[in-house]
Amino acid sequence: MKTSFAKWITLAGFSFLFCTNVANAQVSDPGKEPQKAKEAWARSEDAYKAKDFKGAKPDFDWLLVNAPKISKNLYLRSAVTYESLLSSNKDEAKKTMLQDSLMIIFDLRIANYQEEAKVLDDQKGRLAYSFYSKRPEKLDMLFDLYQKIYDLKKETINPYSLQCLFRLNCEMKKANKKGLDDTKLLELHEKFSKICDNNISKNNEKAGFENAKKDIDANLEATLGEMDCELIKKQYAEKLKSNPKDTLLARKVQNLMIRASKKNKDCFKDKMLGDIYFMFAKEYPSFNSCKSLAYWNAGNDNDDEYVKWMGEAFKYGGASIDKADLLMAQARKKAKAGLYAEARSLAYQAVQTDKAVAGKAYKFVGDLYMASGGTCVGANKTPCDRKAIYVAAYNMYMKAGDAGNAQRAAQYFPTAEEKFTYDCGGKVLNTGGWVGESVTMPK
């Protein structure tokens, strides 16, 4: 026979019961009505095993009030019952009441059977964020809950609880609460990321901590927006100096600085990032580590170092695009030395190595031609001969798909009067000089 206990226990009522049970934590197992408690327990057990959660709930409700220490299973089973009823309930008001009541079931379990850290992390923390994160009035409560879980569990915290705590810190930072600023959020990011890294390395819930780390990174970026390079340097420069071979710290700072480069391109050129790349290339040589250092040097116009470290990278593998990029770097180096013909040859080799560099390779050659306008003057040195070089540059820019620079080259073509006077419109002319190309002068 069902009890007359209300079908839906109100949050206020449960709160009162929670306080009462804390005060009377030493009550005997079956409570003050042992026969009634045993009958309710038997009925609830039958209904629970039959997965009749709606039928089990009234007896669980009565037992939570009147026999809170009858068995720890009371809390395990009533929690499963409430969760099941939640998943099938479409009434928002009733769902809210079930959520609030379920949270208090966990509190009652702690009050009567301790295991605070386990219950908060494994049970309450598993559900609270999804229940309350959209309710602004609950954010302070959520923050305190997950902070308490962290204080109790530290490195052994569940990955989901850790990512929820970082999300809540981000919310507090946005709301100017808890004294959080960019620097403190970065410090938390470092601390929580290290917990993730340590657990991943020990294979403790590896997938969960990998997901948590991604979520923590994403929330940091969403909260701080485009990272500030100077803030990163201020936060981590001394730590890196004191721990030059701390790979986890170095990788973290590397990723932060790369993100900061979206806002400030000079951040990629910063020596602190170069030192990190150098450390990885020297201590953990691989194609990617050497390539990263090579590209950092390329960004700083250190073509010699770029060529050197790409050469090191190719000892460990490499794709055609990487080899093509190396050839283009070598071409730039030759061009700086004034060896334009060799530079062009290397650019063409790059295109043959990987078509993906064709655009920049042909533009590069077009730039070489434009820079040679004063030396490649053609065989007869007429205005048409002297300006044939610009037609060659125009053709290269068009091959590169660079209409803007092609139009710039076209401005140096012979004038209509020069074409008429020297009868060169539509004629094939040679540029002369190192370029040595034959071009058709536009009519």
Distance between CA atoms of 414 and 407, rounded to whole angstroms?
14
Helix (H) or strand (E) holding 129: helix 125-132
Give residue 9's pLDDT band: very low, low, confident or very high (50, 70, 90): very low
Q: What type of residue sits at position 177?
A: K
d(CA 215, CA 123): 21
Cβ atoms of 309 and 291 closer than 8 Å: yes
Contacts of 20 (CB under 8 A, 6+ apart): none
| Exposure letters 218-232 (e unless 16+ CB within 10 A, then b) | ebbeebbeebbbebb
Other Cβ atoms closer than 10 A to 336: 11
Average pLDDT, stretch 164-176?
Answer: 94
Q: Is 389 exposed, middle or buried (0-12, 13-18, 19+ CB in 10 A)?
A: buried
Q: What is the pLDDT of residue 143?
A: 96
The DSSP bridge partners found for residue 430 are: 438
The span from the CA of 278 to the CA of 264, in Å, is: 21
Radius of gyration for the chain, computed over Cα atoms and rounded to the nearest angstrom: 36
pLDDT in tens, 230-262: 989 988 899 899 988 888 889 889 988 988 888
- Work out the percent of the chain whose per-residue pLDDT is above 90: 66
Lowest-pLDDT range of 3-7, 155-159, 313-317: 3-7
Please give the model's pTM, rounded to 2 decimal places.
Answer: 0.60
Q: How far apart are CA 75 and CA 36, in angstroms?
A: 18
Mean pLDDT over 156-167 rounds to 96
Residues 6+ apart with CB under 8 A from 353: 320, 323, 324, 327
Ramachandran angles phi, psi of 429, nearest 5° = -125, 155
Long-range contacts of 30-35 (CB under 8 A, 24+ apart): 30/67, 30/70, 31/66, 31/67, 31/68, 31/69, 31/70, 32/66, 33/66, 33/67
Provide the phi-psi class of 62: left if phi over 0, else alpha when psi is between -120 and 50, else beta: alpha
pLDDT, position 25: 37
**Least confident stretch, 306-320, 373-387, 393-407:** 373-387
Query: Sorting pLDDT into bands at 50, 70 and 90, what band is 3?
Result: very low
Q: Which residues pair with 428 in a beta bridge?
A: 440
- The mean per-residue pLDDT over the stretch 265-284 comes to 94
Residue 413 DSSP class: S
Given a cut of 70, is residue 383 above it in pLDDT?
A: yes
Mean pLDDT of the chain: 88
Structure token digits, residue 362: 């042909």
Nearest to 146 by CA among 174, 126, 131: 126
Percent of the chain scored above 70 by pLDDT?
Answer: 93
The reported pLDDT for the residue numbered 66 is 92
pLDDT tens digits, 45-66: 999 999 999 999 999 999 999 9
The pLDDT of residue 292 is 93
Residue 27 pLDDT greater than 60, yes or no: no
195's tokens: 């917990």
For residue 302, pLDDT beyond 80: yes
